[in-house]
């Protein structure tokens, strides 16, 4: 970071070759990565922070989660990362995710290649499906038990219906002294 000029945005353009794309596809659990292009700029933001803005384009082939057939996905997305020298650390053992998910701690370098792979992993569908792929009805029950079906509803659904019925009965009841709505 010390070598980058602070007054001018530094452009970058990453276009991995076939062996590099194959390695990235393997890392992401994809069948193949046909195209991958990431271009943008890194520029100073204030005195100590940096901003990476770019455009990611990729064509990824993933296995369908139902049939394992190849599913092709096109990704075109904007990428923004802000690297802060003094990124506030959560002070509790449990902390909520910040509203701004573009913030990262500034280290000795900014790696657009790592940002590219992370952004691609986030942009890919978690459960790609081939056109027309559907799940057959699944039955889950312990051995020897009858699985729940539409004709044999969940017993908790019956209890919920009873509770809803008793709640609506109470809404129509009169006050204890017989006057409805008086206070």
178 found inside a domain: no
110 found inside a domain: yes
* Tens-place pLDDT, residues 123-142: 999 888 888 877 776 666 77
Angle at 49 between CA 45 and CA 50, to 5 degrees: 65
147 found inside a domain: no
162 pLDDT tier (thresholds 50, 70, 90): confident
Q: Pick the more confident residue, 151 or 81.
A: 81
* Tens-place pLDDT, residues 68-103: 899 999 999 999 998 878 776 666 565 565 566 676
H/E stretch holding 33:
strand 32-45
76 found inside a domain: yes
106 found inside a domain: yes
H/E stretch holding 120:
helix 112-123
Burial 63-93 (b: 16+ CB within 10 A, else e): eeebeeeebeeebeeebebbbbeeeeeeeee
CA 12 to chain centre: 26
Distance between CA atoms of residues 27 and 16, nearest Å:
14
Task: Answer left, alpha or beta for residue 102, where phi above 0 means left and psi between -120 and 50 means alpha.
Answer: alpha
- Total domains present in the chain: 1
pLDDT, mean over the chain: 80
31 found inside a domain: yes
Distance between CA atoms of residues 46 and 112, nearest Å:
20
Residue 25: give the domain boundaries. 10-88+98-123
Lowest mean pLDDT among 5-19, 41-55, 156-170: 156-170
Distance in Å from the first CA to the final CA of the chain: 72
128 found inside a domain: no
129 found inside a domain: no
Q: Is the pTM of this model over 0.75?
A: no
């Amino acid at each position: 970071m010390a070598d980058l000029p602070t007054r001018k945005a530094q452009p970058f353009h990453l276009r991995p070759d076939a062996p590099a794309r194959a390695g990235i596809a393997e890392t992401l659990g994809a069948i193949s990565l046909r195209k991958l292009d990431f271009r943008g700029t890194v520029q100073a933001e204030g005195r100590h922070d940096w901003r990476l803005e770019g455009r990611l384009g990729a064509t990824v082939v993933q296995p369908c989660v139902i049939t394992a057939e190849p599913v092709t996905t096109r990704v075109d997305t904007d990428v923004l990362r802000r690297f802060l020298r003094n990124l506030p650390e959560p002070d509790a053992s449990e902390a909520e995710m910040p509203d701004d998910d573009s913030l990262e701690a500034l280290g000795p370098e900014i790696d657009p290649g790592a940002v590219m792979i992370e952004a691609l992993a986030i942009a890919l569908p978690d459960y790609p499906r081939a056109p027309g792929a559907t799940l057959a009805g699944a039955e889950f029950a312990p051995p020897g038990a009858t699985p729940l079906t539409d004709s044999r509803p969940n017993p908790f659904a019956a209890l919920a219906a009873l509770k809803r019925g008793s709640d609506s009965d109470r809404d129509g009841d009169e006050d204890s002294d017989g006057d409805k709505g008086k206070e």
